[in-house]
Amino acid sequence: MLEKLRVIFTIPELRQKILLTLGLLAIYRVGWQVPLPIIDANVMNQFSKESGGIGELLRTVAVFSASQLSQATIFGLGIMPYISASIIFQLLGTVWPPLERLQKEGEAGRKKINEYTRYATVLICVVQSWAYVAFLASQRVGEQSLISPAFLVDGRLPLSWQFVAVMTMTAGTIFLMWLGEQIDEFGIGNGISLLIMAGILAGMPSALVELGNDTTWELGGGGGKMGVETLLVLAALFVGVVAGVVFMTQGQRRIPTQSAKHVRGRRVYGGTRQYLPLRVNQAGVMPIIFASSLLLFPQLLFQYLSNAFPTSDILRTLHDSFMRGQSFLYNICYIALIYFFCYFWTAITFNPKEMADNLKNFGAFIPGYRPGKRTADYLERVMERITYVGAGFLSLVAVIPTIVGGALGIPAQIASFYGGTGLLIAVSVAFDLVQKIDSHLVMRNYSGLLEKS
């Protein structure tokens, strides 16, 4: 493996791409730490720790958006507006005929859709940042406002400074979108995914420090409540979970296909047997993102209702169940939403009729099924079955942090590395990055990173 890593940096083009990508990610991490000028950083830190459900909402959104909403930085919105705009246009492409026709125009249509996505991103940024700044201006910790006193006029934030903050956060998101596009064009890997992965992995050092503080070492030093044996169990669990995620992420159901024979002169073309790969986890990480986002709103609702009606035992019980995230009711709702969004997202992204038509147009067919409607019905039945398995896998990965945290009594920040959205994104992006590097190595007659020498 060390020899393969050495070979990577001996190829000038590949070395330049990797170093450029690392440099752009470093720029992102620097901006990630720069707060908005209107914010009192000390009060904001106290607010993020004491805000309960709101703070949990901000931290959860930060996992899959490369954002820093809990600290109100210039990259506070992250790339979530761009992701939202991309999802909106992807959904519209399935129901709006003009956009559907544009998707079928190839490279020219893709560029046009990307242009519309950028415009929508700016609009979403302005709306979200304005709402976020207004929210910050209305919050207080005790008698202190989150806004620095130097920017307050009669206890309120002037409209001019609100406009400056909105433009700053909008420009930050557009700059992150530009960084992602530069990585796509001149670097290596998917730029947007790498930004998200960098935000997830950035939390690992603090989690390791917290884990070390909670561990009791035999030779002195730590005074925590976890022993070394617990640390070994956590390491084994982490390796097992990552191996399972890799296995299911790469899992495929291969549908055998056969191409028709064509006689051209004295030669016979076609007639070969191939396969059509269908991913077991066709929906990717999107179901967990949607499910975890929706479950945050009941937390905020029950928190508000329990504060409004403090004598209600039912509201207090529901509030405790959803706030802790370890109750049976919370996990059942979580799993149900994951199954729903798995089938929903697969129905949007996987079109069996279009796939059957493509097989027919290329002169290929599935043995035992006539081209056209019967092939489409067969593909739909197969996808329904493997989606059920994929949804079960996502559900298991989603509840593993809860199981690990509850059984071993470790903090939520450490348990989050044993499953959930962050682990799935990190593994998927890492595999995509390795495949991109392998393509450069194979093109120059070197063995890939995952291949045997």
Contact, 147 vs 137, CB < 8 A? yes
Residue-level pLDDT at 52: 55
Contact, 65 vs 216, CB < 8 A? no
Q: Domain 206-418: give its CATH code.
A: 1.10.3370.10
Spell out the SS3 assignment of the chain: CHHHHHHHHHCHHHHHHHHHHHHHHHHHHHHHCCECCCECHHHHHHHHHHCCHHHHHHHHHHHCCCCCCCCCECCCCCCHHHHHHHHHHHHHHHHCHHHHHHHCCCHHHHHHHHHHHHHHHHHHHHHHHHHHHHHHHHCEECCEECECHHHCECCECCHHHHHHHHHHHHHHHHHHHHHHHHHHHHCCCCHHHHHHHHHHHCCHHHHHHHHHHCECCCCCCCCCCECHHHHHHHHHHHHHHHHHHHHHHCCEEEEEEEECEEEECCEEEECCEEEEEEECCCCCCHHHHHHHHHHHHHHHHHHHHHHHCCCCHHHHHHHHHHHHCCCHHHHHHHHHHHHHHHHHHHHHHCCHHHHHHHHHHCCEECCCCCCCHHHHHHHHHHHHHHHHHHHHHHHHHHHHHHHHHHHHCCCHHHHHHHCHHHHHHHHHHHHHHHHHHHHHHHHCCCCCCCCCC
Q: Where in the chain is the domain with CATH 1.10.3370.10?
A: 1-202, 206-418
Contact, 181 vs 115, CB < 8 A? no
Residues of the chain with pLDDT under 70: 1, 49-66, 68-69, 214-226, 262, 268-271, 293, 300, 319-326, 409, 411-420, 450-453
For residues 348 and 94, what is the distance between their CA atoms, to the nearest angstrom?
Answer: 7
Residue with tokens 């109750």: 327
**Dihedral Cα 102, 107, 110, 116, nearest 10 deg:** -90
For residues 63 and 135, what is the distance between their CA atoms, to the nearest angstrom?
Answer: 21
Token code pair at residue 429: 């992006």
pTM of the model: 0.79
Class of domain 1-202: mainly alpha
Residue with tokens 């896998």: 393
Token code pair at residue 384: 């329904």
Residue with tokens 């009669």: 154
Residue-level pLDDT at 412: 63
- The pLDDT tens digits of the residues spanning 283-315 come to 887 788 778 767 777 776 777 777 777 777 777
- The pLDDT tens digits of the residues spanning 400-451 come to 877 777 777 676 666 666 666 777 778 888 888 888 888 888 887 777 776 6
